[in-house]
Homo-oligomer: A and B are copies of this chain.
Amino acid sequence: MTTEHERSRRGVLRGAAAVTLGTGFAAGATAGTAAAVGGTARADEPVSGASARERSGRRLDVAVLLYDGFTALDAVGPYETLCRVPGVRVTMVARRAGPVRTDTGELSVTAERSLREMPRADVLLVPGGGERGTTTTMADAGTLDWIRRVHRRSTWTTSVCTGALILGAAGLLRGLPATTHWASGPYLGEFGATYTPGRFVEAGKIITAAGVSAGVDMALHLAARLSDEKVAQATQLALEYDPDPPYDTGSPEKADAELRALALRLIADAAV
């Protein structure tokens, strides 16, 4: 009964998809299998979406550094954006493999591998965290050494939010324009970087993103660099990332001093 129920669901979900997709897709979709969907897309569009493995003969590894007190969305937004790019594997790593607590203490994400088990990656992504998590990691020689080692051979070294301060503490931002969470921007100067507000800033192979949610915008840009623009655009569609927040208070320029102070208090009060 359950199995039959599931089977019908599988068919119908694909069928439902087909309804919205119109001409050229129905044939593949009514077959009701992912394979058929893939086959149809492949037929329509032979080059774009060919996996990086198909093109380069190997997988691209993205390592996302987790640490006690990191901010979940800083890591999961880019993970969700990059994990469907053909040929890309996203791996959560931390000093020790296993569950890693976020800044609020309410959530844990599992690090699949330890830093030692992942000595290199094509893409390094350092998420931001609460003040305790960020400052502790900025002072953690072992983690900073690992970041420098991975950076030496990476294709892209990236950060989200206060992850830029960690890249800075590792000495990677000297003389570069960079961004971070709006509340920490001026602090980048202490690492010889120039705070450059923006959703993300690319300087050589280093890309830094602004606060928390900006990691998704950066990751779409990165998806195009790792694959091609069609794949990045299809990824945005897969995530239905057509943002329409109910307010327009997402940057400090769009908020008054009172709202900025309240935002900082919400951040501070939720932190453990």
* Residues of A participating in the B interface, judged by any CB pair closer than 8 Å: 2, 5-6, 9-10, 12-17, 19-25, 28-29, 34-35, 37-38, 40-42, 44-45, 48-49, 71-73, 76-77, 79-80, 83-86, 89-92, 99, 104, 106-110, 112, 131, 134-136, 138-139, 161-162, 165, 181-187, 190, 199, 210-214, 216-217, 220-221, 224, 229-247, 249-252, 254-255, 257-271
Contact = CB atoms under 8 A, between A and B. Distances in A.
Number of copies: 2
Contacts of A110: 99, 107-110
18 contacts: A2-B139, A10-B135, A13-B165, A17-B183, A17-B184, A21-B252, A42-B265, A48-B262, A73-B239, A211-B238, A213-B239, A217-B246, A232-B246, A234-B262, A235-B266, A236-B250, A238-B266, A241-B243
Contacts of A234: 249, 255, 259, 262-263, 265-266
| Nearest 3 pairs of A and B residues by beta carbon | A211-B240, A242-B250, A34-B268
Nearest to A4: B139
A233 B243 CA distance: 15
A139 B20 CA distance: 25
Nearest to A210: B240
A132 B238 CA distance: 17
A252 to B, nearest CB: 6
A99 to B, nearest CB: 5
Contacts of A79: 72-73, 106-107
Contact of A259 (B34, B190, B230): B230
Contact of A261 (B44, B165, B269): B44
Contacts of A259: 230, 233-234, 237
A186 B239 CA distance: 18
Contact of A240 (B48, B182, B266): B182
A240 B181 contact: yes
Contact of A255 (B72, B90, B233, B268): B233
A21 B6 CA distance: 54
A212 B239 contact: yes
Contacts of A16: 183-187
Contact of A251 (B5, B187, B224, B242): B242
A165 B108 CA distance: 27
A233 B211 contact: no
Residue of A12, A135, A216, A239 ringed by the most chain B CB atoms within 10 A: A239
Contacts of A258: 24, 41, 44-45
